[in-house]
Amino acid sequence: MAYIGSAVSGILDAKLVAGKGQYTADVSLPGMGYMAVVRSPYAHARILSIDTGAAQQHPGVRIVATGADIKQWSRPIPHTLNPSAFGGKTTDIYCLAIDRVHYVGTPVAAVVADTRHAATEAANLIEVEYADLPVVIDAERALEPDSPLLYPEWETNELMHVRFQGGDVERAFADADHILDDTLHLHRHTATPLEPRAALAHYDDRAERLTLWVSTQAPHPLRTTLANTLEMDENDIQVIQPQVGGAFGVKIPTYQEDPLACLLSKRTGKPVKWVEERTEHLMAGGHAREQTLKFSVACKADGTVVGLKVRIIGDVGALAAVAGWGMSYVASFVVPGPYKIPNCEVDLSIVVTNKGPWNAYRGFGKEAASFLMDRVMDRVADTVQMDRAAVRLKNFVPKDEFPYVQISGATLDSGDYAKALQDVMDKAGYQSFAEEQQRLHAQGRYIGMGVGFELTPEGGCIPDSFIGGYEGATVRVSPSGQVTVLTGVTSPGSGNETGIAQIVADALGVPLSTVRVVQGDTQACPYGLGNWSSRSLFMGGSASLYAAREVHHKVLRVAASMLKTAPEDLDCEQGRIRVKGQADREVAFNDVAEYVHKRPFDHHAFDMEPGLESTRYFRMGNIHHVPDDKGRINTYPSYPYAACVAVVEVDIETGVVTLLRYVTVHDCGTVINPLLVEGQFQGAVAQGLGGLIYEQLSYDDNGQLQTGTFMDYTLPTAVEVPSVEIHHQEVPSPFTPLGTKGAGESGVSSPFGTIVSAVENALMPFGVKIHDTPLTPQRVWRMIQAAKNGNNGGAKA
Amino acid sequence: MHTTIQLTVNNAPCEATVDTRTLLVDFLRDQLDLTGTHLGCATGNCGACTVVLDGLTVKACTVLAADVAGSAVTTIEGWTQDARQSGDLHPIQDAFVKHHALQCGFCTPGMVLSVQQLLKEKPNPTEAEIRHGIAGNLCRCTGYASIVKAVQEIARMSSE
């Protein structure tokens, strides 16, 4: 295996570093118009009237559309995950609001004009008359019987209620030595890929075909959704994903602006381009994370956790068609993570409020479960006066109990959690830290070390949705021996194209430079579900491997005939096919390819199917959607994990937290490319750190977003993010042909628990206990002051 | 209102009529098709639109096109053309590729131009100087470690 396992540079990097990547906003078509969207300035209101007269008259304007038009021209957008399929409530989402707005930023009208300036000017001329409605921005308030209702027909703001239960929880609590209760709160933030969303729609009147260039992660499901919304045949729609400038989940679903641009192109007969502004993204591009996590844990004096009750309240904002609410569902699905706690119950309320809708963000709820379980373990450790790592070691699922089924049905595939934690403690100098800490404390410095663990279920596979556990790929060899791989998975910059090329190059025994990976074109690629949940390499790569093996089998058969030997006696490396142990008996891969294409009736190839091409699909073998005897299904096939240690310093005068070190031992099974895996993990930690300390979508009581630009939505820079020390523990997945597990998402969850634990450790002299995020300087400073005053209940900033 | 400007873009003289509201970044992208310069925030925070204006890096979303009349602008396209040595890329870019100092590539052209400015001013920067030197360029993918590594390598090579 020449390439698998080696640190090959990204195959697109040389192009991208020279500025030659073509992103959606870089694509232009003759005669295209520009779309601007009018958005609600109110968090909750009825639309009384919309006057588009002045906008229609504005020079350069091609079309103006409101919800009334959209309702005539299209159907509601199918939900990426419909809550009603989970026993929840639902509502129709059209491209534009029909008669009511539920959050600041709700799209209510759109304009297409000859230039961007003209479109913006005309959008400003649209007069929308609103009757404002009472606003609810707090999820617990939204659950009260007298709360304003977002969707009055529901008669509640609870979108969904879910309960998972296993074992005998009451008995476990009755028998416990200690019972501890706590309430945690994670704050609202979002992915913010640097490339905003963008679309270029072109409806060709003559061909009666629609082409959409769009910054998406899932072109094929988007095409299916568009066909439904626009009432067109899927055959008449082509979705093309140009280079994507980061996605992290937010570009998975079909947004309202995607079919909107298509409709307006169809109505005007000319291409329509839309590029999201950053403020639009922060208002309406999708939010994440905001949840209240209440727990009650029962443990023995030796640190064994015997029972756990969890109550999660997910504040998912207004409902959109983009599936973000599913993150709260996954948070509850993952509890109790890597721990063996058979007596466990989780009660989940997913609640709508007048804030921006949730949308998928790396972590997808797993970060909430990780934070919760890290806090549970820290609390238990502090109560029974044990080391925080030792309590985790005591409660991990043992390595000989896989596959291990959690109460939700989550079926943990493989691993050695204890070894990962012990290894990371060794690498980080966990045992000797206290000495260093005391030495620095004597100098007036507050340094702390924290330990954490994230379990990151990957490759989600939800019944009756396009969130599925399979993938397809085609491997095609041309007459000159060039290899094309067409995949159903896509890459928003995550590097799977390089990993897939490595897998295929090894399977065929050809140089990597001869392999081209084609992704993100519904006209060219096999139907696939796209990029999310770290699925691209372990599912798309597995499908590519199967297809490459099939082609390789044919190549060897022909080569064996040419070399008068048996296929199993051949080696194929770097495009040379040799008889094992006989350097002089060889044939070039390219010559075999040419032979197969040009001489299908000659004696080396006449008895096999012509062509050197294969399309194969790969399905995860450990998903089950038929409920077991306890009513459980398993929706995730792969469970990578990471044990982490963080070292922080807190400036007690200012409350500034600085992350000094972050060390991890990470298992994503077989590593195809350490350069890419480590790059993903490092980037994920940066996002987790940013989310924990710097980024916040904050709303005032009227539901106005206070952090709507990068001036106030603070992202971490190179100054704030240290280089993560990454070590690998490779426990191969038993369910994929190469042993690969999901990689790419991991790293985003652990900073919450690990860094919070480290900050508590640094502030031990004050007895600070942390319950809420973010750890902004102001909030940390207040926590210190409160603890000094004898109140460690956490600060509410 | 429109105005006509004359300037130098990537070493070539350029004359264009621009709407006076047009930002330099939009002018470069829309009128000159120099799409290697990206727009990420339009508030001067993210740095994806970094270009070189009269020898110094600037965020092209904070400058009006009408204001650069008489100036020289260099974008990633022009800089790559000028700066490359033996191969197709400049050693800074080669180091970026080697260390996978980019993932989605959206911040990368701006990041590369900030790095060349940093190395011009401080040929042998410390890690802290590197981190401060690129603090005006946000990257959401890499977590910066590989970028820092690439810059350290290029600094080391040039000091040898």
Task: Provide the domain limits for residue B126.
Answer: 84-159
**Cα A624 to chain centroid, rounded:** 22
CB contact under 8 Å between A192 and B140, yes or no, is yes
Locus of tokens 């079309």: A63
- Give pLDDT tens digits for B73-114: 999 999 999 877 767 899 999 999 999 999 999 999 999 999
Which chain B residue shows the shortest CA-CA distance from A495?
Answer: B103
Locus of tokens 């702390």: A448
Identify whether residues B74 and B101 lie together within a single domain: no
Sign of the alpha-carbon torsion through A428, A434, A439, A442: positive
Identify whether residues A694 and A743 lie together within a single domain: yes
Identify whether residues B155 and B92 lie together within a single domain: yes
CB contact under 8 Å between B80 and A277, yes or no, is no
Q: Are A195 and A245 in contact (CB under 8 A)?
A: yes
Answer whether residue A504 is part of any domain: yes
Identify whether residues A723 and A636 lie together within a single domain: yes
CB contact under 8 Å between B142 and A683, yes or no, is yes
Using DSSP, state whether A359 is helix, strand or coil.
strand
Distances (CA, A) of A600 to A450, A496, A593: 65, 34, 11
Identify whether residues B16 and B74 lie together within a single domain: yes
A570, A587, A619: which is the final residue of a domain? Answer: A619
For A534, left (φ over 0), alpha (ψ -120 to 50), or beta?
left
Identify whether residues A520 and A649 lie together within a single domain: no
**174-203 in A: which are within 8 Å (CB) of B?**
191-196
Identify whether residues B108 and B71 lie together within a single domain: no
Which pLDDT value is given to residue A793? 56
Half-sphere exposure of residue B111, counting CA atoms within 13 Å on the CB side? Answer: 35
- Which residues on A lie below 8 Å from B85 (Cβ)? none
Identify whether residues A453 and A477 lie together within a single domain: no
Identify whether residues B25 and B72 lie together within a single domain: yes
Identify whether residues A729 and A762 lie together within a single domain: yes
Q: Are A447 and A647 in contact (CB under 8 A)?
A: yes
A581, A598, A619: which is the final residue of a domain? Answer: A619
Identify whether residues A687 and A711 lie together within a single domain: yes
CB contact under 8 Å between A685 and B140, yes or no, is no
Using DSSP, state whether A293 is helix, strand or coil.
strand
β-bridge partners, A449: A647
Answer whether residue A152 is part of any domain: no
Q: B interface mutation test: which of A194, A280, A745 has the most B CBs within 10 A?
A: A194
Which pLDDT value is given to residue A792? 65
Identify whether residues A647 and A604 lie together within a single domain: no
Which among B99, B105, B138 is the nearest to A715, CB-wise?
B138
CB contact under 8 Å between B76 and A278, yes or no, is no
A153-158: Cβ within 8 A, 24+ apart: A154/A89, A156/A89, A157/A351, A157/A352, A157/A353, A158/A89, A158/A349, A158/A350, A158/A351
Estimate the crossing angle of helix A496-508 against helix A541-563, to 10 degrees: 20
B66 in contact with chain A, both atoms CB, cutoff 8 A:
no
Reported pTM:
0.97
B146 in contact with chain A, both atoms CB, cutoff 8 A:
yes
B26, B50, B79: which is the final residue of a domain? Answer: B79
Which pLDDT value is given to residue A172? 98
Estimate the crossing angle of helix A750-762 against helix A674-689, to 10 degrees: 60
B63, B79, B95: which is the final residue of a domain? Answer: B79
Which among B40, B75, B112 is the nearest to A17, CB-wise?
B112
CA distance A690 to B77: 32
B49, B79, B109: which is the final residue of a domain? Answer: B79
Q: Are A666 and A727 in contact (CB under 8 A)?
A: yes
Strands B72-74 and B2-9: parallel
Identify whether residues B72 and B89 lie together within a single domain: no
Identify whether residues A443 and A479 lie together within a single domain: no
Identify whether residues A481 and A437 lie together within a single domain: no
A95 token code pair: 């491209």
Identify whether residues B18 and B74 lie together within a single domain: yes
Which among A17, A492, A710 is the nearest to B45, CB-wise?
A710
Using DSSP, state whether A183 is helix, strand or coil.
strand
* CATH (domain of A679): 3.30.365.10
Identify whether residues B11 and B63 lie together within a single domain: yes
Which pLDDT value is given to residue B88? 86
Identify whether residues B50 and B119 lie together within a single domain: no
pLDDT along chain A (797 residues), means of 10: 93 97 98 98 98 98 98 97 93 97 98 97 98 98 98 98 96 98 98 98 97 98 98 98 98 97 98 98 98 98 98 98 95 98 97 98 98 98 98 98 96 97 98 96 97 97 90 98 98 96 98 98 97 96 98 98 97 96 94 98 94 97 91 94 98 98 97 97 98 98 97 98 97 96 97 98 97 97 94 53
Answer whether residue A261 is part of any domain: no
* CATH (domain of B47): 3.10.20.30
Which among B33, B40, B112 is the nearest to A195, CB-wise?
B40
ipTM comes to: 0.98
Answer whether residue A55 is part of any domain: no
CB contact under 8 Å between A195 and B38, yes or no, is yes
Using only the alpha carbons of chain A, give its radius of gyration. 28
Using DSSP, state whether A127 is helix, strand or coil.
strand
Q: Are A475 and A525 in contact (CB under 8 A)?
A: no
Q: Are A199 and A258 in contact (CB under 8 A)?
A: yes
Identify whether residues A503 and A604 lie together within a single domain: yes
A594, A619, A644: which is the final residue of a domain? Answer: A619
Answer whether residue A140 is part of any domain: no
A490 in contact with chain B, both atoms CB, cutoff 8 A:
no
The total domain count for chain B is: 2
- Distance to chain B for A474, nearest Cα, Å: 24
Identify whether residues A645 and A769 lie together within a single domain: yes
Identify whether residues A563 and A598 lie together within a single domain: yes
Q: Are A687 and A364 in contact (CB under 8 A)?
A: no
Which pLDDT value is given to residue A479? 98
Q: Which of A471, A485, A484 is nearest to A531 (CA)?
A: A471
Identify whether residues B65 and B88 lie together within a single domain: no
Which chain B residue shows the shortest CA-CA distance from A686?
Answer: B143
Task: Provide the domain limits for residue A519.
Answer: 470-619
Q: Are A496 and A183 in contact (CB under 8 A)?
A: no
* CATH (domain of B146): 1.10.150.120
Q: Which of B129, B131, B126 is nearest to B111 (CA)?
A: B131
The total domain count for chain A is: 2
Which pLDDT value is given to residue A583? 83
Task: Give residue A97's identity as a one-letter amino acid code.
Answer: A
Q: B interface mutation test: which of A717, A724, A726, A745 has the most B CBs within 10 A?
A: A717
Quote the mean pLDDT of chain B: 96
In A589-688, DSSP assigns E strands to 613-619, 641-651, 656-667
Interface size A-B, in CB pairs within 8 Å, comes to 190
Answer whether residue A304 is part of any domain: no
Answer whether residue A323 is part of any domain: no
B126 in contact with chain A, both atoms CB, cutoff 8 A:
no
Q: Are A521 and A731 in contact (CB under 8 A)?
A: no
- Give pLDDT tens digits for B9-44: 999 999 999 999 999 999 999 999 999 999 999 999
Identify whether residues B48 and B116 lie together within a single domain: no
CB contact under 8 Å between A19 and B77, yes or no, is yes
CA distance A213 to A456: 32
Max distance between CA atoms of chain A, in angstroms, equals 90
CB contact under 8 Å between B143 and A493, yes or no, is no
- Distance to chain A for B114, nearest Cα, Å: 13
A248 in contact with chain B, both atoms CB, cutoff 8 A:
yes
